[in-house]
Structure 1
Amino acid sequence: MLSLKNAKPGFRLAAFATCFAMAVVVLGAFTRLVDAGLGCPDWPTCYGHVWAPQSDAEIEAANAAYPELPVDLEKTWPEMVHRYLASTLGLLIIALTAVSIRNRKYPGQPVKLPLLLLALVILQGAFGAWTVTLRLWPQVVTAHLLGGFLTFSLLWLLTLRLGGSRPIQLFSLQQRALPRGLAVLALLVVIVQIFLGGWVTSNYAALACPDFPLCQSQVLPQTDFAAGFDLAHPIGPNYLGGHLDIPSRTAIHLAHRIGAVVTLLVVAWLVLRLFKARFAALASGLALVLAAQISLGISNVVFGLPLSVAVLHNLFGAILLATLVTVNYELYREANHV
């Protein structure tokens, strides 16, 4: 658990950057869900402007330059706010890297992790640009989403490592078996599930199955998994709204549902093992986040993908990932007497 008493240099900055990264992830989800991913068809400007065209003359000129994507000010602001927040996050990570290098001789000060985060945020900037210039190409959109979740989770891991952590157990290791392998498996399963969720949203398949627990009032509707998971989508078309047929989108949606069942079983098993190993706080927190995430996923279908629920589903996906990072970190510390 975290303790400010023995925190290493950069702890507060890392904690702030983690919260900021969560805000960027949530705003990114909001931008996708309101179809504002192409609210600005160019990058890094917006119709050639630092913010967006405002006057009638500017809007007319922008529409002439991009007739296929006319100005919609309701969509330009989420896109530009997301860009500026993401750029600010990049500056925060640069500052974290500088602090870590400057204090590299401090006992236990991580340096490789901030450098990894710096490389990742640079790559994320490139994916952000490609998301626009490649017109929401599903592969890039999904990779950008995964990169956002990975940035957030690694910032949280950095915060844990910089915090003045203290043991959370008073029992000897001989009294309990640590479920480290299961914790790693649960983390990997959730990462795969996040990828499937990103593939759902980038291919506009969230409502391919509009009912629950059935899909299109069937147990096994018509699907096309080969087309749905064809990662060789050509570059070129505008993918706003998606280009796949119903069977392909249904396959993507069903894969995400199957992934949710696997996630539920694996993480629930981990919760039970954590309780058995007397990690009651971690087990309870993980169980609550898992229950919330499953409930939000079902609510997305039952209530027809309401914006607030869909955004919360992304938020709790990030929180579930961070919780599993915490579980793995604490189990590692316990096993290695850190």
Structure 2
Amino acid sequence: MAVSTMDRTKPLVGRQSLPLLALSTLISTILLVAMGSIVRVTGYGLGCPDWPLCYGRVIPPALTGAWMEFTHRLIGAATSLQIVLLGVLAWRRYRNRPWIFRPAVAAVGLLVIQAVLGGLHVIFEIPPLTGWIHTALAMLIVGLVAIPLAHASPALPAIRGRGEEASPSRAFVAWVSGTAVATYLLLLTGSYVTRSGASLACPSFPLCGVPVENSLTLIQMLHRYVAFGVAFLALVLVAWLVIGQTDRRLVRLAYGLGALLLVQ
């Protein structure tokens, strides 16, 4: 009888391993992006002037900048390992589920490109374009890791089990996709604003406050226009979820999205 119980437990453990690994990978990836932003904003991007070592050493010297960048690299190593494990798990067990398999494997491919760009970023003393692409790829990896987590979530079968009424319409899927793409563009324009020095190009809000006639004010206002568009798309999405969905988890997600929008 005990053997039978163990046999029934193994599939359950297998089903739980991907959501847990995907969640851990997503959290780690977001932490890595946040740490990378801190390193960039504080000016410690060259805290370690070489790569993959730091000042030619495995353990960096007792310098603030060196340890900031070294911590960023340590988080990157831990995150990379998790992304690879997620890709291997998806390859072995979920090749018949494309919304889990393809994003997980694609994340591994982007990880390789990201590692090469990270090295070039340091070796060539952080060219602005390379750094911007580095940020763009990082956010793509965040999205790719989030997709398997969403499709492997235990909540998904429960929502789908409600029948056709719970199935999202094409219009809803298109709106969510458009919001995701617009949010990605917002992140890219925001990154370009900080890298180009246009953060304070417009002294007032929501209008610029000065004539928009140079590159810095144009960059700043472009970012604001994209932000206004994302705010509109997100607010409609929140209302859509609250009014049209009865699943409490989706409603809580909608309220959380609205709260994040207000904070941002």
| TM-score normalised over the length of structure 1 | 0.65
Shift of 1:103: 2.5
Asked if structure 2 preserves the Cα contact closer than 8 Å seen for 1:25 and 1:148, the reply is: yes
CA contact (8 A) 2:193 2:223 kept: yes
* 8 Å contact from structure 2 (residues 91, 105) kept in 1: no
Q: Distance in 2 between matches of 1:106 and 1:289?
A: 35
- Name which of 108, 113, 128 aligns with 1:123: 113
CA pair 106-189 structure 1, distance change in 2 beyond 3 A: closer
Matched AA of 1:46: C
What is the rounded CA distance, in whole Å, between the counterparts of 1:109 and 1:275 in structure 2?
Answer: 26
Q: 1:52 to 1:210 in 2, by over 3 A?
A: farther
Check whether the contact 1:109–1:162 (CA below 8 A) recurs between aligned residues: no
| Higher relative contact order (CA closer than 8 Å, sequence separation 6+) | 1
Q: Identity rate of aligned residues, in percent?
A: 26
Secondary structure of the 1:168 match is helix
- For structure 1, which runs of at least 5 residues remain unmatched after alignment? 55-72, 225-247, 294-338
Give the paired residue count. 246
Question: Take 1:74 and 1:174, find their aligned partners in 2: how far apart are those partners?
Answer: 52
Partner in structure 1 of residue 7 of structure 2 = none
Look up the equivalent residue of 1:188 and give its one-letter code.
Answer: V
Q: CA deviation at 1:127?
A: 1.7
After TM superposition, give the deviation of residue 128 of structure 1 in Å: 1.1
Q: TM-score, normalised by structure 2?
A: 0.81
Change (3 A) 1:52 1:163: same
> Take 1:175 and 1:111, find their aligned partners in 2: how far apart are those partners?
22
Equivalent residue, structure 1, for 2:44 = 36
Residue 287, structure 1, aligned to residue 258, structure 2: yes
Instruction: Give, as a single letter, the amino acid of the residue that structure 2 aligns with 1:180.
Output: V
1:189 paired with 2:182, answer yes
Gaps of 5+ in 2: 1-11
**Code of the aligned partner of 1:113:** P
Name the residue aligned to 2:130. 140
Q: Which residue of 1 aligns with 2:244?
A: 277
Distance 2:255 2:176 in 1: 15
- Alpha-carbon separation, structure 1, partners of 2:24 and 2:211: 46
**CA separation in 1, counterparts of 2:99 and 2:142?**
19
Amino acid at match of 1:203: S
Letter in 2 for 1:50: V
Q: CA RMSD in A?
A: 2.8
1:264 maps to which of 213, 231, 253? 231
**1:105-124 alignment to 2 at 5 Å?**
110-124=100-114
Q: CA deviation at 1:175?
A: 11
